[in-house]
């Protein structure tokens, strides 16, 4: 039995046929929609490599059934840049060398974007480390990741103040 769901992915409305009700958002994104920026790490929700935003909230896409998210707005790493310009979190990851091998980087960045949008970081490195602890980096780039999140948070806050 084939079911159809509607999703908005990176701002683009999509209708997707689902043949298996057990398909996860991760597999739908990577295998069916060819958005391969989201990585499959542990496939158990323990590493955070598959982190995406669903309706603005951080989600481990390997644990999220696609059918359960009919009508959702999904943002992947491919949808962060605007008009050819990197998102401030992406820029900060580059500036602070917040990656080494790069495998975890899309999930780290998506988690950081969600964390900042949720308003939880408050310029506190310890808090950022705690709230990003679900995203593992086997290369140990945690210092650069934390610095990148703090810089991006400050830059986005300044941008908001200037726009008001």
| List of domains in the chain | 3-79 (3.10.20.30), 88-163 (1.10.150.120)
pLDDT at position 120: 83
Mean pLDDT over all residues of the chain? 95
* Measured distance CA(41)–CA(48) in Å, rounded: 8
Residue 157 half-sphere exposure toward CB, CA atoms < 13 A: 13
Tell me the three-class secondary structure of 80-114, residue by residue: CCECCECCHHHHHHHHCCCCCCCCCHHHHHHHHHH
pLDDT at position 105: 96
Supply the DSSP symbol for 137: -
Whether the pLDDT of residue 46 is over 90: the answer is yes
Whether the pLDDT of residue 57 is over 90: the answer is yes
How confident is the model over 66-102, as pLDDT tens digits? 999 999 999 999 999 999 999 999 999 999 999 889 9
Q: In the structure encoding, which two tokens stand for residue 14, read together?
A: 């999509």
* Measured distance CA(145)–CA(159) in Å, rounded: 21
pLDDT at position 67: 97
Q: How confident is the model at residue 123 (pLDDT cuts 50, 70, 90)?
A: confident
Whether the pLDDT of residue 161 is over 90: the answer is no
* Farthest-apart Cα atoms in the chain, separation: 52
Q: Which residues contact 54 (CB under 8 A, 6 or more apart)?
A: 25, 61, 64, 69, 72, 73, 74
How buried is 52 (Cβ within 10 angstroms: 0-12 exposed, 13-18 middle, 19+ buried)? buried
Sign (positive or negative) of CA dihedral 42, 45, 51, 53: positive
Are 50 and 59 in contact by the 8 Å Cβ rule? The answer is no
């Amino acid at each position: 039995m084939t079911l159809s769901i509607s999703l908005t992915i990176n701002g683009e409305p999509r209708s997707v046929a689902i043949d298996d009700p057990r398909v996860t958002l991760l597999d739908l994104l990577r295998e069916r929609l060819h958005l391969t920026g989201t990585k499959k790490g542990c496939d158990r929700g323990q590493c955070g490599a598959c982190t995406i935003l669903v309706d603005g909230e951080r989600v481990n896409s390997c644990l999220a059934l696609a059918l359960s998210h009919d009508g959702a707005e999904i943002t992947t790493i491919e949808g962060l840049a605007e008009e050819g310009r990197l998102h401030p979190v992406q820029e900060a990851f580059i500036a602070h060398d917040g990656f080494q091998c790069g495998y975890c980087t899309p999930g780290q960045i998506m988690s950081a974007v969600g964390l900042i949008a949720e308003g939880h970081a408050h310029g506190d490195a310890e808090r950022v480390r705690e709230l990003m602890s679900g995203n593992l980096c086997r290369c140990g780039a945690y210092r650069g990741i934390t610095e990148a999140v703090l810089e991006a948070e400050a830059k986005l806050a300044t941008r908001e103040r200037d726009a008001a």
